[in-house]
Structure 1
Amino acid sequence: MEHPRITILPDHIANQIAAGEVVQRPESVVKELIENALDAGAREIAVFVRDGGKSLIHVLDDGCGMRREDLELATVRHATSKIRSLEDLQRLATLGFRGEALASIASVADLEIITRQAGDEHGWKLVCQPLKPQRIEPTDCPAGTQVIVRNLFFNVPARRKFLRSDTTELRYISETMIRYGLSYPDRSWTFHDGRGMVFQLQPQPLLERIGALFHADIAGSLIPVDHQTDLVRIEGFLGLPSIARTTKASQYLFLNHRPITNRALAHAIYQGYEHMLEKSEHPFFVLFIWLDPERVDVNVHPQKHEVKFDDERAMYHAVLEAVLQSMRQHELIPQLRVKQVESSAPLIAVPNSGGAPLVVNRLTGEVIPLQSPPTLPSSPGRPRSSSYQLRTEQPQWQPATSQQLASILAPASSSAVERETFPEQPRMWQMHNKYIFVQTDDGIMIIDQHIAHERILYERALDALEHASADRSQRLMFPVELPLNAREIAIFRELAEDLQRLGYDCCLHEDRATVEIRAVPTEIRPGEEATSLREVLEQYAEYQTIRPASARDNLAASYGCRAAIKAGDPLSVAEMRRLVEDLFRCRTPEVCPHGRPVMIHFALRELDRRFGRTS
């Protein structure tokens, strides 16, 4: 058998391979073309798309334009005007630099570039199609550059097949437009989706730009950040805890204008919010980091979102200090730590002439002998040592099954102890407004009330999406308006029909970027009409990226998660009983839509074993 020979791939195949990394979806094309426009010094940028960018992407700018000689090289791989040497690569001042984008786009779509430099009598038009020679001809056009991309992935059916719906692809493009609109508030931006104007923004201060892209209540709930060290300058805005979101969708971090993601810096921001947010809450922030380009490597990922700093630790502490400083200045956290009070650390060690030290509770006077000197905490919240040796053996927890419903709802035992000591004790009770304890014939079942309700609503939502029902909706006496940004409008359009099946009756007013809510599902509690819809939209967008399921399944899971009762909600005995009954009517009551257990069962025999009982 003859071994295959090593050969150099033809350019069109190499370009398509490169396109797989650079051009993943229509949003990738929009991103690359916007970055080219910004690098060309554009002050006004307009983006028009049709069919979610699949059939048309048209980007116009008033940048410096190109000469004919430059245009001829524009679609050649690794042809770029942005770097000339290794030193340029080490201190990048532009968003693009590899010279791959236009070559990659030209290999998977029909490409047309129209450009003119200011002062030239006429411009030039380049027409490029895969596997065909490009042609250039003179044309009349305004100064600047227009790039028109048609029929994306028409020659790569496998790639086109994996694109999402038009509305989903439009949502990704909308998010990119918001990101660059925030990164460059001093530029004019126009965004049209083929059906109407999504937004049109004039140069404005950052705070006004945030208000224009989101809504007034967001802009009015921000605190400024302005922090500088010898290494870095950090500025922007942080959201108050009152506008914390249920997902990470509204978090924007920029490095020298470049949108980036960095887990360490995100952790530093969250650390600054410590104890002010619940675990399920995520802060809103728009932060800019200005750093010497030589101290960061942006050539890490094909999409150029990830970066590496030469001093990660210093960057982490700089961002953390910037957040804390802003919090202190606006009195969200105390500037000085108060002296530790006795109630937070009541135990002190006292020498004992008998040899073994004593621990004294300063509040009660109780003396606790220890076998060895204790390690006392220096601040609240750290674990204290204990003389008690806890057994490490864990109880035998077992998932409960729907077959136990009969025993759960069976008549209560009539033992003498129950009759005399607890004559009216219910068989269900709530602990910490979070868990429901249910006595069964052979032990105790513990149910997480939020996850249980989430499971119930998830299955109800799935049924409603398959079989629309009018009785799922409750009409509001007074409609509620919910302002949406471009990304949220795209999500709403995508889900409009299915939201109606769930029980929402909404009307989108695109002229003022709001949704009028006229009816909501029966499970939505009064006062939560607007927040429930916003949270469902946000959760759906997140699930679409991390949860491998159908769009309807993700919508049902989003609705279940956001409309369910929460940990901390008190329930009456009747409400608990109804919740348990509804849970065991579910097809799969044992787990939530994400796979977490809804309930656990602690067998009576395990309790007997723990207490040393033999009968």
Structure 2
Amino acid sequence: MPIRQLPDILINQIAAGEVVERPASVVKELVENALDAGARRVDIDLEEGGVRLIRIRDDGLGIAADELPLAVSRHATSKIASLDDLEAVSTLGFRGEALPSIASVSRFSLASRREQDEHGTVLHVEGGKLGELAPKPHQRGTTVEVRELFYNVPARRKFLRAERTELGHIEEWLRSLALARPDVELRVSHNGRPTRRYKGGEDLDALERLGETLGEEFARQGLRVEHSGAGMRLHGWIAQPSYSRASADQQYVYVNGRSVRDRNIAHAVKMAYQDVLFHGRQPAYVLFLELDPTRVDVNVHPAKHEVRFRDSRLVHDFVYRTLQDALAETRAGMTPQPGVAAPGAADPAARYAAGAGLSAPSGGYAAAPTSWQMPTRQSPLGLNVADAPAAYGALYAAPAANAGAADPGWASGYAGTPMAMPADSEDGVPPLGYALAQLHGIYILSQCTEGLIVVDMHAAHERIGYEKLKSAHDGMGLKSQPLLVPMTMAVSEREAEVAEREAQTLASLGFDINRSGPQSLHVRSVPALLADADPEGLLRDVLADLREHGQSRRVAAARDELLATMACHGAVRANRRLTLPEMNALLREMEITERSGQCNHGRPTWTRFSLAEMDRWFLRGR
């Protein structure tokens, strides 16, 4: 078959195969055009899940009448004019493919009026064939109607799902948009009935928009993140580890205001949550990354779902360190303040350049209290205890003679004069309160200002020990252990290239490696703490991470797994009777230990029951 030039209609229909996947794709392209035109209100009318009708009306700047035919021409746009514009594009749309692609597979009309025009103008397009311009009454702004999507491409129409499914995809994209643009009002109707309204305005509270899109529970559990450094800014909300999901249905990432799916950022978030999330659960977050548009390429996907960063390693480390530091502040007893971000840390660029990673502020938690005196005597559990700190008042009055022994029941510390309850003062009572007793040798019961605290003593002690072990090893660094007999590894050529290029990085992880051939490595030393593990398998995983993400936490993760096992074995076991001083010492250590809200396996270590909640149990006040 000879080479021939394809007709314009077929070209547009091929482009539609890339841009227009389903009705939600059409809504996305048209609403983004409305936002680029400065709209502050967008109405979305749908019929049959968008298959029969999609009508988008906006109050934006509008389009000149003589430019309407050009608007539905291929690669015609008002948003870029040169390569420099493309490399620094800041608008949501810019490729000039959306309208002609949509118009080629639907019965399409475009009506618009600018502020200075006497009347509006409409242009009809039938299967890619342009009609004549005609006057039409119209308010300022633009209306786009897309009827009978894929009517002339029956093979594509067969792949569309049920009405409810297609509507669900549209609603999910609008939810994502609403999170990013609280300044814009969105009104949605389906089959003639209003279904959703997102209020908009410059004064709209961001937490209010967060609640109406993802639910009040996310708004309550969300930790505000706000950090700038290395020429980037990361802000938004991450949910506490206790608010985890079975699926990744509440994970939203925006780069310069554009909703994207980026494996690099997703991996950084996953690594930040690695130490605090229960197995199989997914974190929830809404994150906005802002950086110079010239440092990110948005022109790598026809539907603009993906981006490419000039320095993906820096972006990965910036996101990871910011969220890791925020999650480190999820100490037991701390009350989240989702509407307030903690002050930022120093610019992390210098730390990154030095190989130490990035620093970030806390994720909206109140600062850890420092006014309570830590007792000094060591208990058999390795906790700091004191006989009777004055701050505890009469709580320890007349302790039992054998209070330090593992006496049965709740006898520890209870003999003699009945104990007085601690003063119910926010200034005088620590976040986790004062211990009252053990329950079944498993839980610590504690009275706090708000009500009752219940602590899983094994899980809490496990986290405390784990964080101490990590701190100790972090202080020493990752030591190398020379192999008695150096190991030769057969690898792929790409793996060998990565190992050669990242030799310094591998050395910092404890590996002494050099390339011994096109597809072989010579390994002389491995991380000392992991020498008895599978160093070859670990090295292959590290090389895979370095190739895909530019860095790897495999060694640190393997080390942490070993330390977690050690902490678990060293933690206090069920049915171990603790004295009241030991219980209180455990509570105080929880309050100053990072990530103490969860154990090493992601299980919660504590919970709080308010007085109001307990009053409801017993119908008090009714």
Give the share of equivalent positions with the same residue, in percent.
41
The answer to whether the aligner puts 1:324 opposite 2:324 as a matched pair is yes
CA distance, structure 1, for counterparts of residue 199 and residue 33 of structure 2:
20
Distance 1:112 1:280, change over 3 A: same
Does the 8 Å contact 1:186/1:205 carry over to 2?
A: no
Q: 2:532 aligns with which of 361, 372, 385?
A: 385
Please list the CA deviations of residues 556-583 of structure 1 after superposition, one character each: whole Å capped at 9, or x if unmatched.
xxxxxxxxxxxx9xxxxxxxxxxxxxxx
Q: 2:175 aligns with which of 174, 178, 194?
A: 178
Provide the secondary structure at the position in 2 that maps to 1:241: coil
The answer to whether the aligner puts 1:23 opposite 2:20 as a matched pair is yes
- What is the aligned partner in structure 2 of residue 442 from structure 1? none
Distance 1:376 1:103, change over 3 A: closer
CA distance, structure 2, for counterparts of residue 267 and residue 115 of structure 1:
43
Cα shift at 1:331: 3.5
Please list the CA deviations of residues 350-404 of structure 1 after superposition, one character each: whole Å capped at 9, or x if unmatched.
xxxxxxxxxxxxxxxxxxxxxxxxx9977xxx53539xxxxxxxxxxxxxxxxxx
Cα shift at 1:195: 5.3
CA distance, structure 1, for counterparts of residue 262 and residue 116 of structure 2:
43
Cα shift at 1:211: 0.1
Cα shift at 1:260: 0.6
Amino acid at match of 2:310: D
Q: Which piece of structure 1 moves more, 169-178 or 327-336?
A: 327-336
Distance 1:340 1:183, change over 3 A: closer
Amino acid at match of 1:190: R
- What is the aligned partner in structure 1 of residue 120 from structure 2? 123
Does the 8 Å contact 2:214/2:250 carry over to 1?
A: no
- What is the aligned partner in structure 1 of residue 273 from structure 2? 273
Cα shift at 1:230: 2.7
Does the 8 Å contact 1:239/1:283 carry over to 2?
A: yes
CA distance, structure 2, for counterparts of residue 265 and residue 194 of structure 1:
38
The answer to whether the aligner puts 1:85 opposite 2:82 as a matched pair is yes
Instruction: List aligned pairs for 1:398-477, cutoff 5 A.
Output: none
Instruction: List aligned pairs for 1:46-445, cutoff 5 A.
Output: 46-130=43-127, 132-194=129-191, 196-203=193-200, 204-331=204-331, 338=468, 382-383=529-530, 385=532
Does the 8 Å contact 2:240/2:330 carry over to 1?
A: no
Does the 8 Å contact 1:376/1:385 carry over to 2?
A: no
Cα shift at 1:319: 0.4
CA distance, structure 1, for counterparts of residue 159 and residue 326 of structure 2:
44
CA distance, structure 2, for counterparts of residue 210 and residue 191 of structure 1:
18
CA distance, structure 2, for counterparts of residue 131 and residue 45 of structure 1:
25
Q: TM-score, normalised by structure 1?
A: 0.55
CA distance, structure 2, for counterparts of residue 342 and residue 82 of structure 1:
55
Please list the CA deviations of residues 163-189 of structure 1 after superposition, one character each: whole Å capped at 9, or x if unmatched.
111111111111111011111111111
Does the 8 Å contact 2:42/2:187 carry over to 1?
A: yes
Please list the CA deviations of residues 537-563 of structure 1 after superposition, one character each: whole Å capped at 9, or x if unmatched.
xxxxxxxxxxxxxxxxxxxxxxxxxxx
Does the 8 Å contact 1:299/1:307 carry over to 2?
A: yes
Amino acid at match of 1:383: L
Please list the CA deviations of residues 117-171 of structure 1 after superposition, one character each: whole Å capped at 9, or x if unmatched.
1132111111111253322111111100110100000000000011111111111
CA distance, structure 2, for counterparts of residue 91 and residue 163 of structure 1:
35
Cα shift at 1:69: 1.8
Please list the CA deviations of residues 246-276 of structure 1 after superposition, one character each: whole Å capped at 9, or x if unmatched.
1111100001110011111111111111221
CA distance, structure 2, for counterparts of residue 85 and residue 179 of structure 1:
30
Please list the CA deviations of residues 5-39 of structure 1 after superposition, one character each: whole Å capped at 9, or x if unmatched.
21111111111111110111111100000110011
Provide the secondary structure at the position in 2 that maps to 1:266: helix
Please list the CA deviations of residues 215-236 of structure 1 after superposition, one character each: whole Å capped at 9, or x if unmatched.
2111111000001013210000
Amino acid at match of 1:256: N
Q: TM-score, normalised by structure 2?
A: 0.54
CA distance, structure 2, for counterparts of residue 330 and residue 131 of structure 1:
56
CA distance, structure 2, for counterparts of residue 193 and residue 251 of structure 1:
26
CA distance, structure 2, for counterparts of residue 330 and residue 243 of structure 1:
12
Distance 1:140 1:385, change over 3 A: same
CA distance, structure 1, for counterparts of residue 199 and residue 84 of structure 2:
36
CA distance, structure 1, for counterparts of residue 19 and residue 473 of structure 2:
59
CA distance, structure 2, for counterparts of residue 14 and residue 298 of structure 1:
23
- What is the aligned partner in structure 2 of residue 478 from structure 1? none
Instruction: List aligned pairs for 1:530-609, cutoff 5 A.
Output: none
RMSD over aligned Cα atoms: 2.8
Provide the secondary structure at the position in 2 that maps to 1:243: coil
Provide the secondary structure at the position in 2 that maps to 1:153: coil
Provide the secondary structure at the position in 2 that maps to 1:60: strand
Provide the secondary structure at the position in 2 that maps to 1:237: strand
CA distance, structure 2, for counterparts of residue 93 and residue 314 of structure 1:
21
Instruction: List aligned pairs for 1:483-498, cutoff 5 A.
Output: none
Cα shift at 1:202: 1.6
Provide the secondary structure at the position in 2 that maps to 1:316: helix
CA distance, structure 2, for counterparts of residue 56 and residue 179 of structure 1:
22
How many aligned residue pairs are there? 354
CA distance, structure 2, for counterparts of residue 342 and residue 179 of structure 1:
42
CA distance, structure 2, for counterparts of residue 50 and residue 129 of structure 1:
19
CA distance, structure 2, for counterparts of residue 238 and residue 341 of structure 1:
25
Cα shift at 1:341: 9.4
Q: Which piece of structure 1 moves more, 186-195 or 278-287?
A: 186-195
CA distance, structure 1, for counterparts of residue 130 and residue 36 of structure 2:
27
- What is the aligned partner in structure 2 of residue 416 from structure 1? none
Please list the CA deviations of residues 64-113 of structure 1 after superposition, one character each: whole Å capped at 9, or x if unmatched.
00111221201100011110011100100111111000000110001111
Amino acid at match of 2:39: A
Amino acid at match of 1:197: P
Does the 8 Å contact 1:54/1:150 carry over to 2?
A: yes
Cα shift at 1:205: 2.7
Does the 8 Å contact 1:223/1:330 carry over to 2?
A: no
The answer to whether the aligner puts 1:37 opposite 2:23 as a matched pair is no
Does the 8 Å contact 2:113/2:120 carry over to 1?
A: yes
CA distance, structure 2, for counterparts of residue 341 and residue 132 of structure 1:
69
Does the 8 Å contact 2:16/2:105 carry over to 1?
A: yes
Amino acid at match of 2:153: V
Provide the secondary structure at the position in 2 that maps to 1:218: helix
Provide the secondary structure at the position in 1 that maps to 2:242: helix
Please list the CA deviations of residues 435-472 of structure 1 after superposition, one character each: whole Å capped at 9, or x if unmatched.
xxxxxxxxxxxxxxxxxxxxxxxxxxxxxxxxxxxxxx
Cα shift at 1:193: 1.9
Amino acid at match of 2:125: C
Does the 8 Å contact 2:237/2:285 carry over to 1?
A: yes
CA distance, structure 1, for counterparts of residue 316 and residue 56 of structure 2:
37
CA distance, structure 1, for counterparts of residue 233 and residue 309 of structure 2:
14
CA distance, structure 2, for counterparts of residue 214 and residue 342 of structure 1:
40
Q: Which piece of structure 1 moves more, 196-205 or 154-163?
A: 196-205
Amino acid at match of 1:284: A
Amino acid at match of 1:118: E
